[in-house]
Each structure stands twice: as C-alpha cells, then as structure tokens.
Amino acid sequence: MTFSLLQVSAAGFAQKLTLSKKQISLEQIFREISKQTGYQVFYADKGMDAAKRIDVNFKNSTLAEVMELCLQKQNLSYAIEDKSIVIRIKEKSIVDKVLAYINAVDVKGRVLDETGQGLPKATVRIKGSEHMVLTNEKGAFQLSNIAENAILQVFYIGYQTREISVAELKSNPSIQLQVRAGELEEVSVMVNTGYQQIPKERATGSFTLVDNAMLNKQVGGNILNRLDGVTNSVSFDKKENRAKLTVRGLSTINGLMAPLIVMDNFPFEGDIDNINPNDIESVSVLKDAAASSIWGARAANGVIVIVTKKGRFNQPLKIQFNSNVTITGKPNLFDLKQMSTSDFIDVEQKLFAAGAYKVREGDKRKPELSEVLELLIAARDKKISNAEAKAGIDALRGIDVRNEISKYLYNTEVNQQYALNFQGGAEKMTYMISGGYDRNLSVRSEKYNRINLRAVNTFRPIDKLQISTSLYYTNSQTTSGRPGYNMNSLDGRKIYPYTRLADDQGNAVPFNVYRKTYTDTAGMGKLLDWKYYPLDNDQHKVTKVNLQSIMANVGLNYEVTKDLNVDLKYQYENQQRKTNLLQALNSFETRDLINSYSKLNRKTGTLSYNIPYGAVRNNEVNSMISQNGRLQLNYNKTIGDHQIAALAGTEVRQISTTLDGRLTYGYDEETLRAGKVDYVSPFPNFISGDADFIKEGLRADGLLNNYVSLFGNASYTYKNKYTLSGSLRKDMSNLFGVKINEKGVPLWSAGASWNISEESFYNLEFLPYLKLRTTYGASGNLDSRRTAVLTLQSAGAAFYTGYPQSVISQLPNQELRWERVKMFNIGADFGLINNVLSGSIEYYHKKGLDLFGLDDMDYTTTGVPRILRNVANMEGNGVDLDLNAKLIDRKFKWSQHLNFSYNTSKVTKYLLRSTSGTDYISDGLQLAPLPLVGQPVFALVSYKWAGLDPLTGDPQGYLNGQPSKNYKEFTGVNSKISDMVFSGSAVPTVFGNFMNTLSWKELSVTVNITYKMGHYFRRGSVDYNRLVAFEAKGGHSDYANRWQQPGDEKHTDVPSFVYPNNIDRNRFYNSSEVLISKADHIRLQFVNLAYNLKKSEWSKLPVQQVQFFANANNLGILWRANKFGIDPEYNNEFNPKASFSFGLKADF
C-alpha cells in the first residue's frame, strides 16, 4: 500500500472542529482537519479523487461527525489509526459485486481530436479504478465487463480531460476532446507528413506545427503569408531575386531554393494564391532529414504540409461564416530617395553647357529631350530670350511629379474576404462543403476577384473500407490598373521630376516620347497622335488574367487486419491561366507601333499602314496538368511495451505544361476580326529609316516530366520511452541519365528519440517532460529546369532564309545528376511543471553535395565556354529555439511565444574561379557572378574605402596598401581578392518573433514583434554613370550631400560631381564598403484584438458563438541598427503601409 502525506503536525483527538464553507474540496477539508486536530491525513489508494467539492457547515463537531458528514455521499471510507486518518475507497460487498457482474457491459468508442481525426495512444480509464486501455492508431478502444453506471475518463496530453458515462457512449461512440488552451503546440500533437500522421511525442524528426488559431491571427488571401513572423526556422525575404521563403536557410546555389509545398498528401503544383486560407486547418513544416526525406528528391529545402478542413464522423451540422475587410493606405512616394527637381535641373543645365546632349540632339531616331533642354535649345537658337528660358525653367523647379502621381494614380487599397462552410457527419460518412469569395482593389486600382468552391466527403460503406473524395475549384479574375511609379520611371518609361500628369483643370497632359518639334510636323497631319498620356493610358491598355484551377482527389483505405491497411490515392490537378492584353487604338503603344511602320508618300500625301489599323491583342494560355498516384501499405502494431509503425509504397507523377500565344494586329473588338500582316518582308522605320521585321505573333512551348518513386518508412517504440526510425526512398525521373540506374538516386534517413522523463530514475519534479532526439539523413533537390539530355527549342523563322530554325537550349550533359543534401539534427523537447514553460531547442548541420555550378568547357568544340555541372558544395549550421510560457493562467491569462532561429551557411567548393577581385563584387540582392568559397551564397563583397580626396572630392580606394585613385587598376581584371571587403551575409542569420497574448474572459489581444539580425545591406546613393547617361531621368537624393569644396569630406562620403564622367570612378564608389550598413532591425508586425460571444452566456444570440476581431499589420520598425532611417527590408523601395482589418467569425 502506498501512502501520500498531506500534512504533519500534532494535536489532541478530542478537539472540536468548526468549519463553514461552500464548494470546498475534500482535500481542503482534510487539510483543515489536520490543522485543527493535528492528525495526519493519508490517501491509501492512487485512484482516489479528493478534488470533489461539497458544502460544509459544522460547529464544535467531533472528528467522527465531521468525517461521516463529508464522506456520506462519497465512495470513500476512513479509519483512525494511531493519530492518523487513512482514507480508502469503499470495498464493495459480495452482493454489490454479484450485481455488478450481472450488469457489466462491453463498450467501445473512438477518441477524436478537435478536427475529428482519431487520437492514437489516448488513455481511457474507468473512473475510480486502475482499469484502463490505450486507443489504437485510429483512436478506437474497447472495454469489457464494466459497470453500466461507470464513468469513463479520457486523457490525452495537450487536451482537456473529458468524462463520459457509459450511457452517453452507447448513444454516441465518438468522444471529441478539446485543446487545452496554449498546450496543443507544446507536446503530443499529431504531425502530418503527407504520408502519415505521427504523434509528436513519438517523432524523432524536427517539425513546426502552425494550428488554425495561429493561422487566424493574421488576415490575407495567401496562406503562406500567414506563416510570416510566427513560424520557427522559416524566413521570408522581400527581395525580388532571392528565394521568397526558405526553411533553415539555403541548401543550393543555382538550384531551386523554395521548399516543397504539399496539400492534402500530394505536392501542390499550382498557383499558391489559388488556396483559400479559410479552408486550411493547419500547416506543418518538416525541417530535418527524418521529417522530410520521405519526400526524397524534392525535400532538400524543407517541406510545408498544408492540411485542409474536413468533416467528422457523428458530427452534427456545423455552419461557419467568416468575413473581413482590410484597408491599406497608399504608399508614400517620397520613400524613394530621389534627387530634388531643382538639383536635377541644375545638372541638366551643367551638362547642356558642356555639350553632353549634342549627340542625342542629332540622333536620327529623334528621342525626346526634356522640357528644360528644349527651353535651353530654343534660347541657344535665339527662338526665345534667355530671360524667357530662365523663367520657364524656374517655373519647373517647384514641381515634384510624385505629388501628382500620388494624387491621380494611387489610392487606398481595400480587400474583402468572405467564407462559408458546412461540415458534419453521420456514423458512416462525413462531409465538408465550403465557398469563398475575395474581392480586392489595390493601391493602383488593380482588381482581383477570386471564387473558391470545395467539397470533401468520406464514406464507410463497410467497417473495413473508407472512401474519400474531394474537389477543389478556383476561378480568379485580375484586371490591370494604373501604372506604377519607380525612381523617375512610370510604367517602365522615363519620366522627369517636373513632369505634369494633368493641367489645373485635371485634363491629361501629354508626355513626349519623341521630340515634340519632330512629331508635330513629321506626318503632315496624317499620323496618329504620337504623344504619351500617363494619366489615362491605362484605360486603353488593359490586361485581364483569368485563372481556373480544378483539383480532384480520390482515396481508398482498406483494413486488411486490425494492424495492416492498404491506402490507394490519386490526384488530378489542372490549372489554366489565360492572359489577354488589349492595347486599344487609343493606347500609346498601339499608336506608336502603327506610326513607326507607316509609309507616307509626301508627294501625294497618301499614308499606308504596314501594321493594320486597329487594336493590338496579345493572348496567352498557360496550362498545367499534374497527375499523382500512390499505393501505400500501413502497418501499426502494439504488443505489450512494443510499438511498430511502418509504411511502404510506390508513387508515380506526371507534370505537363504547355504555352500557346498569339499576337494579333488590327484587332476589332466589335467584329472580332484582325488584319493581315507581312512577317517576311522588312519595313523601314518611319523615323530612322532602319529596316526591321514586324514581330511574329505565334508562340508555343511544352514540357513533360515523369517521375516514379519507391519509398518506405518505419519506427519502433519501446515502453513509450525509446524510438528508432528510418526511411528510404528512390526517385527516378526522365531528367537525368540514359541508363535506368542513372535516372534515380536513393535517399534515406535514420533517427532516434529518448523520453527521459519516463525513466524510473528521473525525478526532476520541476521538469516533468524531457525528450532527446537526433536524426541524420540525405534528401535531394530536383530542378525541372535542368536536364542531362540534348534539348532543342524552336526559334521561329531564320532572318535571311525565312526557314524554320531551332537553337540548342541544353547541351547533352550525361554526368549531370541530382543535388543532394545531408543533414544532422539533435534536439530536446521539454516542459516545466504545469507547462509554465515548454518548448524545444535544436542544433543542425547540413551539407549540400553535387550542387549545380558553372564549369569551364572546351569552347572550340561546342561554341559554349561554360556548362552546368555538379561541381559545387556548401554547408551550414543552425540553432532553433521554440519557447512557450504561461505567465498567468487564471481568469486573466498571459502567455508568451518566442521563436529564435540562427542559420549560417557558406560555399565550400566551386570549381569555376577567378583571380580578379572585381568578379566577386556583389550587393547580395541576387546571386553573385561567381560564388566565393568560404562566403555565404548571398554575400556582400565590396571595394575597400579610403575616403574622399580632400582637394577634389574624388573617392579613394587602396592599391598595394596605399590610398589610390587608380580606378582602372583596382576595379579591373588586375584587382586582387585580398583587397576586397567581405561584410557578411545579405540575408538574416538570426531571426524570429516574440508574441504576447493577453486575455480576460472572452477578450484577447495578441502583439507580435519580429526581429532579423546578423546581416547587411548596401544603401542606394547617387550614381553619376546613370545621371549623365542619355537615358538619364533623375538621381539619388545623396546628390545634395556631395562633396563641393575642401572640408566637405569631414561630413560626407558622397563624391564630387565631375564631367566628363569617369565610369570606373563611379562604379568603385557605388560598390565600395562605405555604402554598407547593418540591416538588423526589430519590427512590430501585428496586433490582433478579438472578442467572443457565446450562446451559452448570451441566450438571445442567434448563433452558437461569434468572434469579432480587428487586426493591425505592418505597424513599423521599433529599432534599426542603421543611422540613416532606412528600412533594410525595403531599401530603395516603398515602405509598406499599415493595414487595418475588421471582421467576424460565426458558428451556427
């Protein structure tokens, strides 16, 4: 017998007791008895429940009276033994035992999670006894010979304990558990790998689970964006030429860098914007080899598994409605550090005086000259006076084109989202029907409408057979809006700082693409208007994109035995994107094209069109069809303390993509007719006279990839303490090799875990949960753009002969093979008492082998100097820390969530090298021309900076260790690698978030702060090469801070402006270390406020519950390391404006 001591003291047995209190627990009463009498109170049975609450009111009562009163309605008895009170569970009489045996029943049921999925290894115990069982892999259980009035208790870590009577269980055999607030993500959750569901406490691999509650803390139409700032080891990048999303850093140099996206058990090949976030239940991130290697050649960059919502068996109809609207302010165009209008005019005047525009002025192509230059030319040619020219120029100094662009072309963004779903189920079937509608209007009036329809069903025609089907349909329409602005550029066209879009009455003001003096008279009044009207050109140049996607799934699962089942799945995905660009006759692009190919007979005044008169229509259809099939055997067996889980199978996959395009001239929207075009004959350009062919309008492309895979995965667990796991997969594809054995590569993983806290010797009461795990394995990286076989591509008609021609797009490369990544991972999961603090910490090391890289090739035999081969390696290390804290857990709750990720990587091998340091110069915004061994893939490499020459303001570098202005030498081919400065990584090496959630009753507020550290960026500055170029359209505001006189070098690093321009001088400055700054920053990412109303508390509420919420996103930087006020994530770009969302979620 085991005794548990509650209190130790000494007092007399004859002492009277007094106590009056409502709803006091037996345990509290026993403590009071011990306090007033000095008697020790012991429990003699483990299964005793001393938490029951009763009302007591006794005064000057004896101990015997008090004990009889407290235990009279309890299944407990007591005995007083030597100044001790021993509490026991009552012994049943012989009659009671006989009656219990006669009335005993057998019951069975199924324990489900909050989504309706079975919970394996849940504990089902008869209350007040030691009789208990564990559920099987499907959550099912059976109990024999139990009392008809018995109460069952169901336990599962991370979920609230539930009690249910035998009678209730008979009427509904499904027992659904609710997540214990704040604990689901800590321990004992089910992780979906796309092949199986694994209880996290038995997993050896590294996973991050983002549940539905976390996904809904952010608002938006893209599911991946909802992972930003809340997901451990997942980094988001805003730069265009870098991977938008990475898991545990990079694993390749020239291959695909993005993780594999899996949705409902198969790779998702379509546009991620097709997925409605309201249809998603959870997202799992598979981070290490053991977690992701089951996906083989596509898993090297990590795997993101998306699980959609589904109905549950025996679930009453549940209707959910979600609606929200998000408002975002228009961007501040002055975020771009642009040269002032006055400074730009000064530069134009200086260059004009130096004769810089003479070549452009005499160009036979008649390129436009700015309004300032036309005034200067008119004054020079005595067409106007100098005073008139000065007055006209001075009037332009007060104009800033950004004001008019902001006024006329940008507006507030409004996004609306609506979602409705129906879910439920009966004993033999489940259903889920959902619909979503998104309606967005961007800051440039682009329109985006999306409709999602989804139906998911599961049937059990017989006990051992389960059939599942799903159909997902998406239709989206995108309509282009107004042109976008970038540093003195509008819709990709040069625009000057003093350009006006509208006059004082709001009428469109023309912009001259060609010299006004020419176009006003060149066509004798016969040509179409040859001016560009930025204010309304978008109305005549409209792009419409229609995207339709259908994804259908069917699955069969047959239970051969209680331990073995067969799974057969098939998925069909078809996405079609139709793009229609219509440039109406009134658009500048069409008018320009027709005029350029027109022919004017100046004697007769007759004008003929070689481009048919009418609109220009550009149609393009991109199609993608993906088919996946999988046959899988699943085996789960528990024999005493031994648990075995295994799967094996094969899958086939085919992806077909096609492109069809047609360019139509002279298109008439009303009659749907087009003109005829001569593509064979060259025609002279109207302005320059140079002959050229009209662009041919037909385009076609196609790609077919086939894949076959064999896979297996197994794990063995002993006593719920020790787990060993392993996986093996072989992928084969038509991309690599000629022989069958060269088409595939075997990939594998092995892992082990140890639940130390389950050991008998473990006695750390403050740390009741502790688990160690480690894995090692190899996965692959598949890039369908790379192939080992000779690839020809049609190049249309030959220039001189007109015959069809082809070009070699890929040389035969029989040695090319899969990229491979090996990863070692070790980690610990832990939980303090009552889960006050829980989480995990992991260290990993990975190596990228056989990576793609350029290598020298014999130019004399192929005509190609370099070819892609498996000639590169890289390696990286990292640490992931995930912490959850419950600081206060009462009516008022305060929880915290900290994600910390550290990742660093470097190139360890790259055969193609250079002795010139200039070849390695990089701003880290894209892949360097040559990756440098020992440095990150996206590294910042610069020239050493020696300051400005105090006499001339020239930038100075180093040559042979001494300050020098020999720019040709230290920026040319003779530059030395040792003279370069390696600042570090351009992507964060440390990143994460710190989230606080405060709640009181039904009101909660969440504040999320993100941080990114350990990286650098190159600031933008004045580029004199661009400023003085023929196409100059402005410059950087640093021009105002340039060196102008001796002494300026003490407070500026911006070089002096000199003309004639020295190209090497300016290239050196813009690639020097003086423009490097630390990119570390801390950002207030979002604040989420929510309030719940429940029908149980508000009887007149027309719904079961409703949540009103508000979300504020992109609230700005709290701290930054650079002193220039630059947001390093948006350097030389518009800073994101705060967005505010308001919405509701209702359950009917």
Identify whether the C-beta of residue 904 lies closer than 8 Å to the C-beta of residue 934: no
Q: What is the DSSP letter of 508?
A: B
Give the range among 158-162, 653-657, 826-830 with minimum mean pLDDT: 158-162
395: helix, strand or coil: helix
Q: How confident is the model at residue 10 (pLDDT cuts 50, 70, 90)?
A: very low
Give the range among 169-173, 644-648, 683-687, 752-756 with minimum mean pLDDT: 169-173
pLDDT of residue 476: 97
Beta pairing, strands 1081-1094 & 1016-1018: unpaired
> What mean pLDDT is predicted for residues 305-325?
92
Q: How far apart are the first and last CA of the chain?
A: 52
428 has pLDDT over 80:
yes
In the chain, domain spans: 4-89, 94-176
Task: Supply angle C-alpha 442, 445, 451, rounded to 5.
Answer: 60
For residue range 731-741, list pLDDT tens digits in order. Answer: 887 666 555 44
Residue 193 vs residues 189, 218, 1014: alpha-carbon distances, Å: 13, 24, 32
What gap in Å lies between CA 500 and CA 232, rounded to an integer?
48
What gap in Å lies between CA 290 and CA 153, rounded to an integer?
35
In the structure, how many helices (H) and strands (E) does the chain have?
17, 60
125: helix, strand or coil: strand
**Which residues are registered as beta bridge partners of 1012?**
991, 1081
Q: How confident is the model at residue 142 (pLDDT cuts 50, 70, 90)?
A: confident
Q: How confident is the model at residue 49 (pLDDT cuts 50, 70, 90)?
A: low
For residue range 486-523, list pLDDT tens digits in order. Answer: 888 898 888 999 999 999 899 999 999 999 989 988 88
Q: Which long-range contacts (CB under 8 A, 24 or more apart) does 369-376 make?
A: 369/515, 370/496, 371/396, 371/496, 371/498, 372/345, 372/348, 372/396, 372/496, 372/498, 373/348, 374/515, 374/516, 374/517, 376/348, 376/349, 376/352
575 has pLDDT over 70:
yes
Give the containing element (helix H, strand E) for 289. Answer: helix 289-292
> What mean pLDDT is predicted for residues 318-339?
94
Q: Would you identify the CATH topology of the domain 94-176?
A: Immunoglobulin-like (2.60.40)
240: helix, strand or coil: coil
SS3 content of the chain, % helix, strand, coil (to 5): 15, 45, 40
pLDDT of residue 45: 58
pLDDT of residue 792: 72
The class level of CATH for 4-89 reads alpha beta
Give the containing element (helix H, strand E) for 1081. Answer: strand 1081-1094
For residue range 51-67, list pLDDT tens digits in order. Answer: 567 888 888 888 878 88
Q: How confident is the model at residue 6 (pLDDT cuts 50, 70, 90)?
A: very low
876 has pLDDT over 90:
yes
Give the ranges where 38-73 is alpha helix by DSSP (H): 63-71
755 has pLDDT over 80:
yes
47 has pLDDT over 60:
no
For residue range 660-714, list pLDDT tens digits in order. Answer: 999 999 999 889 899 999 988 899 999 999 999 998 888 888 888 888 999 999 9
pLDDT of residue 1098: 82
pLDDT of residue 171: 82
Q: How confident is the model at residue 256 (pLDDT cuts 50, 70, 90)?
A: confident
pTM for this predicted structure: 0.82
For residue range 1030-1040, list pLDDT tens digits in order. Answer: 766 678 999 99
How many alpha carbons lie under 13 Å from residue 727 in its C-beta half-sphere?
Answer: 31
What gap in Å lies between CA 169 and CA 389, rounded to an integer?
94
> What mean pLDDT is predicted for residues 282-298?
86
pLDDT of residue 739: 55
Identify whether the C-beta of residue 62 lies closer than 8 Å to the C-beta of residue 30: no
Identify whether the C-beta of residue 235 lies closer than 8 Å to the C-beta of residue 301: no
1047 has pLDDT over 80:
yes
Beta pairing, strands 84-89 & 40-43: parallel
Identify whether the C-beta of residue 1010 lies closer than 8 Å to the C-beta of residue 1082: yes
pLDDT of residue 1078: 97
Q: Which residue has the tokens 């081919």?
A: 973
What gap in Å lies between CA 481 and CA 795, rounded to an integer?
33
835 has pLDDT over 90:
no
Q: Hey, what amino acid is at 400?
A: D
Q: Which residue has the tokens 């589904």?
A: 310
Q: Can you say whether residue 1096 is alpha, beta or left, with left for phi > 0 and alpha for psi between -120 and 50 degrees?
A: alpha
- Highest average pLDDT, of 442-456, 747-761, 822-836, comes from 442-456
404: helix, strand or coil: helix
Give the containing element (helix H, strand E) for 64. Answer: helix 63-71
Among 775, 722, 788, which Cα is nearest to 749's?
A: 775
110 vs 478, higher pLDDT? 478
- Highest average pLDDT, of 74-83, 454-463, 1027-1036, comes from 454-463
Percent of the chain surpassing pLDDT 70: 93
Mean pLDDT of the chain: 88
> What mean pLDDT is predicted for residues 287-302?
84
> What mean pLDDT is predicted for residues 357-369?
92
854 has pLDDT over 60:
yes
449 has pLDDT over 90:
yes
> What mean pLDDT is predicted for residues 647-652?
94
> What mean pLDDT is predicted for residues 940-949?
96
> What mean pLDDT is predicted for residues 790-805?
69
pLDDT of residue 482: 96
792 vs 614, higher pLDDT? 614
Identify whether the C-beta of residue 880 lies closer than 8 Å to the C-beta of residue 841: yes
DSSP 145-161: EE-TT-EEEEE-TTB--
For residue range 1059-1090, list pLDDT tens digits in order. Answer: 999 999 999 999 999 999 999 999 999 999 99
Give the containing element (helix H, strand E) for 795. Answer: strand 791-797
pLDDT of residue 1007: 97
pLDDT of residue 736: 62
What gap in Å lies between CA 8 and CA 11, rounded to an integer?
10
Q: Can you say whether residue 961 is alpha, beta or left, with left for phi > 0 and alpha for psi between -120 and 50 degrees?
A: left
Q: How confident is the model at residue 97 (pLDDT cuts 50, 70, 90)?
A: low
For residue range 174-208, list pLDDT tens digits in order. Answer: 888 877 644 333 334 678 888 888 877 778 889 99
Q: Can you say whether residue 470 is alpha, beta or left, with left for phi > 0 and alpha for psi between -120 and 50 degrees?
A: beta
